[in-house]
A and B are shown apart, each in its own frame.
Chain A
Amino acid sequence: GAGVSQSPSNKVTEKGKDVELRCDPISGHTALYWYRQSLGQGLEFLIYFQGNSAPDKSGLPSDRFSAERTGGSVSTLTIQRTQQEDSAVYLCASSSWTSANTGELFFGEGSRLTVL
């Protein structure tokens, strides 16, 4: 596909369950980002992957959150023992060296997580 692809688009889960959210960035984009958007809030930075460098995890809100990026492409955000406050839209974005110079991030449409 031409854009950033995220799945699932919607996920409803019960409190305490684990969830995995997937992001497929634009082909060739070396940088990948996860953001969280809670209702009525701005985008909150979670984690950033750049090439083979160690990821910047400084935005992860707790140790229940983790993310990995396999083969420099697809990324999975995992939330363990979900809580109701984890309910939000999780957005993934990617950028290339070129777009990074212009500041442009390409966002996916997000995965809406609802924790009951």
Chain B
Amino acid sequence: QQPVQSPQAVILREGEDAVINCSSSKALYSVHWYRQKHGEAPVFLMILLKGGEQKGHEKISASFNEKKQQSSLYLTASQLSYSGTYFCGSGAGWGKLQFGAGTQVVVTP
């Protein structure tokens, strides 16, 4: 079943913070985060495997709460380059993932 992402879209000014949530009704074994800029290929950001684990990519970090079956992606001190659509994916196998519908992030000057 497809993970549910929220919000669907967010508009930020440079330097502001945002949180993107990803939740599932099924048990999550791993959560994968990707970012896709318009007209480009999705790019891997990070994978989270353990409950409560946090990881980071530049000033983008994420947490994974197994018990709550949810993950959150934190965009800190956003930059213009953070604009794009963020997808979370989950699944038992590395590549056979169920992705959420995506969260569109627009960072303005």
Contacts and interface: CB of A to CB of B under 8 A. Distances in A.
Interface in A6-54: 31, 33, 35, 40-45, 48
Q: Helix, strand, loop or mixed for chain B's interface?
A: loop
Interface residues of A, number: 28
A103 B57 CA distance: 14
A45 to B, nearest CB: 6
Interface string B29-49: 010101000011111100100
Interface in B70-109: 87, 89, 91, 93-102
B94 A107 contact: no
Interface string B5-29: 0000000000000000000000000
B97 to A, nearest CB: 6
A105 B102 CA distance: 17
B2 interface: yes
A109 B37 CA distance: 10
B87 A43 contact: yes
